[in-house]
Every structure is written in C-alpha cells, then in structure tokens.
Amino acid sequence: MRKKRTPIMLALAGLIASMLTFVSSGTASAAEYIPQLRWNAVDSHAYSTTVTDPAGGVTVPCDSAGPNNLKSYDASGQIVRELSSSQTIDGRPNCIQRPVVDKNGVLYGQSYGWNGSNSAHGTNLLAYEGNGLKWKYPTGCTDADGVDPSIGANGNIYFVNGSSQLVGITPEVEPGTVQPKKVLSVNLTSSRCSRTIAFNGGIAVFKDGSTIANFYTYAGTSLGSKDGKSANMPVSATGRLFYPTYTSESGGGRSVSISAYNALNQQVVWTRKVSVPGAYVSDASMRPAPDGGTFVIMRENEMVNGALTSTQVNTVVKLSATGEKVWSKTLPSKDAYGVTYNPSNYRALVGTSGKLVLELSAQAPVSNGGWGVNAVTIKVFDGGGTVVYDKHMHGDLSGGNGDYGFTYDANAVISAGTLYVRSHCDSNSCDGVKLYPIAIPNVGLDYPRGAVFNVDELEQSDPVRPLPVPYVALGDSYSSGEGVEPFAASSNTSTNKCHRSDLAYAQLAARNPGNGLRLDQGGFWACSGARTKHITGVWEAEDTSDGVNLDEDPQADHLNENTGVVSITIGGNDIGFGYMVESCAYPTRDCDGAIDLANTNMSFLEVLLQQTYIEILNKAPHAKVYVAGYPPILTADGGGCAVGEAGSDYPFFTEGRKQKAVEVLNALNAKILENVDTVKSVNADFFDRLHFVDATAEGSPFIGHDVCSDDPFVNGLILDNQLASFHPNAKGQAAYAELLARKIREVDLGGQDNDGEVDPDDCPIC
C-alpha cells in the first residue's frame, strides 16, 4: 500500500500558505505563495519539455548545459527512473532531452551531447523500461534536431528517419533479435527527421518549419496533405487539423477565422470567424478538445466601448464540433489584485476531461510600489467556460525590491489531476529551478495524446484498453446525417447526394475513445435515400430509381473479415416512410393514401430485411452488427402541432393524422426487431452477433424530444431544404451515438455497462 506523504507540519505549512493571498490592489503579500501541491517541489533544471504518463507521473529530461540526469517521478513524487548523463551510449553522453513516454511508462528518446568538438544526437532511438535499456533502433538522425517520435493508438512507435522515411516499429523486441520489428516504411519527400503527431486513424508528419501536414494511416496509406497556414498546427485524436486565417479589415482591424479539416475524408468541415467586428487580432492558437471542437486563444488589442486600445489581452473562445461559438472570455490586462499579464507568454493545455488549463506569465505588485515581481497565474476553464481554478504563484522574499519572482514555464504539462510547472526565481537569494506538482482535480492526461492512448478522462486506474476495432457505418439518411450539414464534398455533388455528415452518429461514436471504434477512411458508407437493395446490390437492371447515386457500389461490398463493428439504419425508404410523414403533415394532402402505401410496402419488408442482415453477417464474419431502429419523431401524446413555416399550405399535424403516422413508425420498428430476432434464430452460433438498438425504448435520449416538443431532436419540415425534413438534427445524431455506445457496452459486458449495470438515464451529451 502506498504511504501517504502528509506529515502534520507539511499540512500546517500548506494551510498557512493558502491564507497568504493578495489583500488589495497595489500590494502583495510579504511571503511566497505556492498553490496546493501533490508533493513537495523538487530541484529541477532548465526548460526542456517535460512529459507525463497516464499513471500521473512526470519525466524531467536531461539538460546538456549541465549536464543533469533525466529523472522520472511517480504520482507521489518518488523517483522511479534516473538515467545518468555521464554514461556514454553510441559515442554520446546519454543525455535524453526530448523523451516520449507510452501508456505503459516506457520511455523513448535519443542521447545527445558533446563528442570532441561538436554536439549531436546518438545514432539510435533508445527504449528504457525503468532504468533498463530494452533496445536500440537506428534512426539516421544524428544532427542537432534528432527525431521526434510519437506513440500510435496501436502502441507502435513512429518517426521520420534520416532517409526521409516514415518508420513504424513495435514496442517489443522481435523474437530472435535484439531490435523491435519494423511494421511500416513509407518514403517521403525531403522530410528527414520531421515531427510526427499520432491520432486514432494514423500519423501526421510536419516537416520542420513547414506549414504542410501530411497524413498517413497506420498501414501507410496516404491521406493527402493540408496547409495549416502555420507550422505545427494542432491535430485532434480523430484527425482534425485546426488552422487560422487572418483578414485585414477596414478601419485598421484584423479578424481571424478558424477552419477544421478532417484528414480521414480530406475535407474542410467548417470555417468560422471567431473575432468580433472591429477587433485587431495579432495571433491565435488552437487547442483541440475531446468533444470534436477546439479552444482558440487569441492575442488581440483590448476594445473599450467599441474602440481599440494599445493594451493587448488574451481572449479564449470555445468552438463546438460544428464550429459554433460556445463561449468567449477575455482575460483582463490587470486583475482585482493588481496582477498584470503578458499576453504573449502563455501555455495552453487541454486534458482528456475537456478542461482548458492556462498558465500565464504575470507580474505582481510589491508593497513599496516598485516595478513588481514576476509571477505565474494558473486558470482552468471547464467545457462550459466557468473558471474552476484560479491561482497565482508569486513571492517577494527580497524585501520588496522587485528582484524576486517566479518565472513562467513555457513547457508545463498535465496528467491525472496535476499540472507540472518548472519555475525559478530572479534573485540569488532563492533556490533556483524547481518542479512544482500543482494539484488541479479532474484534469486528465493531455489531449489528444490521452485519447490516442485510450485513457479514461477521470479513471486513471485502468489506462490500458483494447485497441480500437475497424468500424463500418452503413444505412440510409438517418445514418448518413442528412439534416446536419456540412456534408463531405464528395457526397454532395451533382451526381452524388449521399450527404455524409461529419456529425453523423457514426462519426461521433468513433470520436469517443471509450467506444473502441476506428472509422477509417472508407468506413463511412451510409447514403441518403438508401434502400435495402443499396446494401445488398440486389436490384433489377432496369431499375433507375437510384437517381443521382448510381455511382455508389453496394454498401455491403465494403465489409470484410477484418471488420469489427457495423452499424445500420435501413427499411424506412423501402416503405416510403418519409413520404408518408410529409403527406400527413399537410392537411390538404392524402395522408390515408400514403399510409396505405407504406403498409403495403411493409408486407414485402420481411424478406428484404432478412436478406440484408444475412448479407452483412456473411461479408463481415467477425463483426458485431448493430441495427438501429428509427427514433420517435412523433408521439401520440398531446394534440396537433405545427412542424414548419407558416404559408399557403401550412404544415400542421392534426391529432388524428399524427396518431396514424405514429402507428406506422411503431410497426416499422417492430418489423425491424422481429426480423433481427428471426435471423438470429436461423443460425444462433453465427448470427448471434446481430443486435437491435431501440431508439424508442424507455430511457432513450430521444424520449421527450419529438418534433412537436420544445426541444426537438428532429427537424421539422424545412421548406427550402426538404431533404433535411424529419431527420435527426445535431442533438438527434448525438442521441443516436449515445444509444450505440450504450448497446456496445451492454454487448461487450454481457448485458452490463461500464458501471456494472445498464443505466438508461446516463446520457452526458443530451
């Protein structure tokens, strides 16, 4: 059992320190103030980038100027690794300056130091488990830059070698050898020793100083490239690249827009202007968030009463997965305690919990009114924009002469509930550089690395999860995301109107690392207007009802023995369900005729559904197949309701017509469930992989959100875009994603979710 490191005297010291705060503007406490720490600060060195591990520990790299030993601390502050910089490896001092750590705590890096008259990296990438050297692997990068490896979602290590090849190697030694196995080698163009970033679908490569990001799958397939406008733009765990575009405006203003580019479908998902009219934005940086959106930190001139001033401030903007502005907060240039900020110096970090941690360079006033002392300010925002942590780290131990203070650390890092900051004072009267493990609850490992590692946001006790399985999404418009623009450009042309949305439930489900799904390029084939024949490919040659989507192959052809999960909604178009709902929405149209047609078509649906399910199960022999029913877009509760814009033909559901439409919807879902059960009974051992996802059951997030409700999860009738009518909106697709996630947990855990029991009310996104 781990011993608690909380002696009485330390507890008292922490209590006293917590009472030493600023008392008024223009004055500062006469003593050092440090926020609550996880464990006592330790001596550190320099400012090379520290790195954390999923268990809450931290590694402080070697500093060749010292040189100093590399040290790794666990979550309680105990040293668990120390690599001597005086040891020589590959003819160089073993001073590892830029290490990376995988989810098992294994450390990778290159030795660096002087050898005679020059300083360079060693020949090999080194792997250390604890203090033990596991293996060495040649990189061909021996200049001052060395390699910047990253750890993939599959646990392999990826880097660009000195021959401009993207290389992937296993974390373990290949049997019968002394080196890991090479699993990937892709020739690049003039990108030797470049920086890499791992995401769930593959690897992004940034050539040093270049603004171009090149994307590859873990199998080495090129996903194309994108100009991120600036070097080292951030990439999310789902392969979204965020980048800024600046525009000069009349009156001397300068605006900024943020774009989200999806590397897996090679499309710009959205572009949103984030600055306010009249603003002057000097620069903007992005930090991807686990929900698919991003935080934007702008440095801009402060506006007072609509007029620009010469004072610069930081403004934080949160954009959602669809690019909508969720909230915006401008940090004051001076707070109530007289602390001023340098908006050019900040460190922004996002945890897997979705919180944004800002470490700011600040200056605190001194008691004699002097120049002030350097300070560090830490602010933490939750996903809703609320500041949940706000502390200064400061000191004035030199008698108010203004020559003592804590310096800002541009390389702070986060892990499970801890922000690790290195700082030193500006006077000979203090102790030099120290590492401060500041306690910040429920932050999580840094994103996107933590999500790529599949580390649960707040549950760090079991960080190792199975690798994501290949996922293929099939179906009709309810699965393609019709009704939630924007659509992938290739699915919104004059010859293809499949309308595949980046916010379809399949895309959302794959972005949630807890679901263990990998929706690679070529995995999303749901298509607006699809019928059962478009899944199986069984239709007559003279049938031209496929319209503009004739170039689409049968969806089941995209399945294979490697497919791990399939999801689908199908059957609604076979009976003319959309036509029936729209006909019943207009009092002047033939609702009864449309219902009779739907019921007639439903009599043929049994064979079509069974053919479809069996085709999928046979073509994906190892996959779990999730057949989703249709949501309660209408319910029998209440009277009639308006579902569209007023006009000469006013769309309004009378109570009677609404009841008839609900009966058809219920019959359709019952038919789908019946045939799922029938197919499973045909071959219980092979077809038991088929599962029904009931969107109308008790506890479904759709309940209470039909088209007639105050908060509908389904679009009403949209006159200028009728294809989107009566389809799930963004909230509806999120509800579908939650239903799929619940069913996956239920199936994987034998009828239980991650809490040990099925909890239908657990819907954090609704």
Q: List the catalytic residues.
A: 477, 727
Extract the tokens encoding 539.
């239709």
Residue 67: is the preceding peptide bond cis (ω within 30°)? Answer: yes
Quote the longest CA-to-CA distance of the chain: 92
The pairing of beta strand 565-568 with beta strand 624-628: parallel
Task: Find residue 605's DSSP bridge partners.
Answer: none
Q: How many helices (H) and strands (E) does the chain have?
A: 12, 42
Amino acid at the residue 515: N
d(Cα 734, Cα 504) in Å, to the nearest integer? Answer: 8
HSE of 692 in the Cβ direction (CA atoms, 13 Å)?
Answer: 20
Task: Find residue 362's DSSP bridge partners.
Answer: 341, 375
CA angle 607, 613, 615 (to 5 degrees): 100
d(Cα 323, Cα 145) in Å, to the nearest integer? Answer: 36
Residue 643 C-alpha from the chain's centroid: 35
Amino acid at the residue 57: G
d(Cα 752, Cα 44) in Å, to the nearest integer? Answer: 47
Helix or strand or coil: residue 686?
helix
DSSP code, position 365: -
d(Cα 476, Cα 646) in Å, to the nearest integer? Answer: 29
d(Cα 111, Cα 95) in Å, to the nearest integer? Answer: 5
Q: Are 689 and 625 in contact (CB under 8 A)?
A: yes
Closest-CA residue to 472 (of 272, 670, 624): 624
Q: Which residue has the tokens 């006469």?
A: 30
d(Cα 640, Cα 661) in Å, to the nearest integer? Answer: 12
> How would you class 531 by CB atoms within 10 Å of its CB: exposed for 0-12, middle for 13-18, buried for 19 or more?
buried
- The H-or-E segment that residue 350 falls in is strand 340-350
Residue 628 C-alpha from the chain's centroid: 25
- Number of residues that this document lists for the chain: 766
What values do phi and psi take at 730, rounded to 5? -60, -40
Q: Are 570 and 581 in contact (CB under 8 A)?
A: no
Extract the tokens encoding 453.
């590692």
d(Cα 416, Cα 553) in Å, to the nearest integer? Answer: 46
Sequence-distant contacts of 533-538: CB under 8 A, at least 24 apart: 533/608, 535/474, 535/475, 535/568, 535/570, 535/612, 535/615, 535/616, 536/611, 536/612, 536/615, 538/611
DSSP code, position 692: E
